[in-house]
Structure 1
Amino acid sequence: MTTSQHLRTIATTWTDLADALGTPTQTSWPPVTLRGYLTSLEQYDLEEATALRMLERDPSQIGARPIPISLRVHDTMRTIEAGLAECADAIAAVSQIEPIPFPGREWPADDRARRTARARADLADPRRWRFRGNTPPAPYTALWLLARVERRPGPFRTLTEAQHRHIGHVAREAVARIEAVLDLADGKRELGDGHRCACGGRIVVYGGAGATPCANCRRCGALWTEGGIIVAA
């Protein structure tokens, strides 16, 4: 995908991440072994649920108790938002044109009034990136960066190749995190020497994109799922 496509993906899939906050999610792909993969999923869900229950039962907490959420999804969303905001800060620092300065008292009254109105409008331009303490929502930042990549009108200089590459890298990383936590990407990995088939052949594990993990021996063709061998050589 292009940088523009990555940025649009961030903006359009953000509601899916928000919906997944209350949904158990898988650990990172690929697994070392199928059985170990399933065990790690069960252990992750157990540890996450235990931690949330401890928070809910803490007698030192006053008021409303926290709503159980997926900590992995929550951390992913915060990481993406912070990364995009940092990128936007850096891009705006070098590409955003400084606002029109306000006139001094030496300006004639009529000219000063017109100049003041222009300066105020330029300063309040909603297309400007605001350097702020609070991290803005990821969709807003992604669309702001998209406008810069696509050279939309506004008080900005044309991006350099290096700036384009920087935005592209941040956008790709964000989409990779989204695909991993929502299990959207296909996964494939050849296991190492410590996990060979009985025939000595190398094992390739497949999964992701919602598919049930399975493994296949390159030499004898044996096929495994979580339940065991379903096709033997």
Structure 2
Amino acid sequence: MNTTPTTAQQLQTIARLWPDLTDALGDRTQHAWPPQELKGYLNALDRADSVEAAALRALERSPDQLGTRPVPISLRVHDTMRAVEAALLDTADRIARSVQRAPQQPPAPARAATASTRAERLVWEDRARRIEAARRDACDPRRWQPQHGRTAIRAALWLSGRAAGASGPFRPLSDVEEQHLARVAAGALARVEAVLDLADTRRELTAEHACQCGGTIEVYGGAGARPVARCKGCGAIWSEGGVIAA
């Protein structure tokens, strides 16, 4: 059975996780992958984190910052949120321009007149119905309104509806549009899960951090699992507490 989430599901997950990103924004204890707790070959990453922390402290004390007591934030989370939100909003704008039907046009203005016959009353009643239908169509909450509610959550949910083929004043997505939206959704969700440490993650370290045997070190963990490093050459394994096997 295929358990791969659909594009619509991925976009819904982004919307659901967005409040968690907002909460994590004020937590500067997070570290870039691979985790800094691993010893030995990750000392260089520890030093890099220290340099970043010093830069953050200097930024917080800078008189150029707005307000007298700036709130420290996680730049990693902040950059992720900005990138994902920009991608979602741009994609929503582009798809809306392509698939969203223009609002119905109301009837042309007419001079007020008294309906003295049944036929005239029917004409004016029909005109009133068309004006109201045009108003409702223009204000349809299913429409993407670029000037209102430009948030990552709204964009993700609106795009989810387009991916799922939900009804509304739209035509179905073309194959090219479906593929583009799928790439955007997958990439955005991967960024969100990575910064929240929700996804299984693997990364090979550079040659600078090679094992004593010369083999490449691979770090893996995430999704709540403790990070572990393994040499792909000799098979040595390290955890936060030190060497597990050599």
- TM bucket by the smaller chain? 0.7 to 0.9
For residue 46 of structure 2, what is the aligned residue in structure 1? 38
The one-character-per-residue Cα deviations of 1:1-60 (angstroms, maximum 9, x if unpaired) are 3212210110110111011011132124488x42222333333233223312x24xx2x7
The CA deviation at 1:70 is 1.6
Tell whether the 8 Å contact from 1:203 to 1:218 is kept in structure 2 after alignment: yes
Tell whether the 8 Å contact from 1:30 to 1:189 is kept in structure 2 after alignment: no
TM-score by length of 1: 0.84
CA distance in 2 between partners of 1:218 and 1:71 (Å):
33
For residue 74 of structure 2, what is the aligned residue in structure 1? 70
The CA deviation at 1:79 is 1.7
The one-character-per-residue Cα deviations of 1:104-149 (angstroms, maximum 9, x if unpaired) are 14694332212111111111111111122x7722111111111111
For residue 212 of structure 2, what is the aligned residue in structure 1? 198
Query: Which residue, 59, 65, 69 being the options, matches 1:51?
Result: 59
CA distance in 2 between partners of 1:92 and 1:171 (Å):
16
Percent of aligned positions with the same letter in both sequences?
47
The amino acid across from 1:214 in the alignment is: V
Secondary structure of 1:69's counterpart equals: coil
Query: Which residue, 141, 147, 151 being the options, matches 2:161?
Result: 147
Give the number of equivalent residue pairs. Answer: 227
For residue 7 of structure 2, what is the aligned residue in structure 1? 3
CA distance in 1 between partners of 2:51 and 2:65 (Å):
27
**2:238 equivalent to 1:224:** yes
Tell whether the 8 Å contact from 1:30 to 1:188 is kept in structure 2 after alignment: no
Tell whether the 8 Å contact from 1:26 to 1:183 is kept in structure 2 after alignment: no
Secondary structure of 2:14's counterpart equals: helix
Root-mean-square deviation (Å): 2.7
Query: Which residue, 14, 17, 23 being the options, matches 1:13?
Result: 17
Structure 1 unaligned regions, length at least 5: none
**2:110 equivalent to 1:95:** no
For residue 119 of structure 2, what is the aligned residue in structure 1? none
Secondary structure of 1:214's counterpart equals: strand
Deviates more, 1:120-129 or 1:102-111: 102-111
Structure 2 unaligned regions, length at least 5: 112-122
The CA deviation at 1:68 is 1.9
TM-score by length of 2: 0.80
**2:128 equivalent to 1:113:** yes
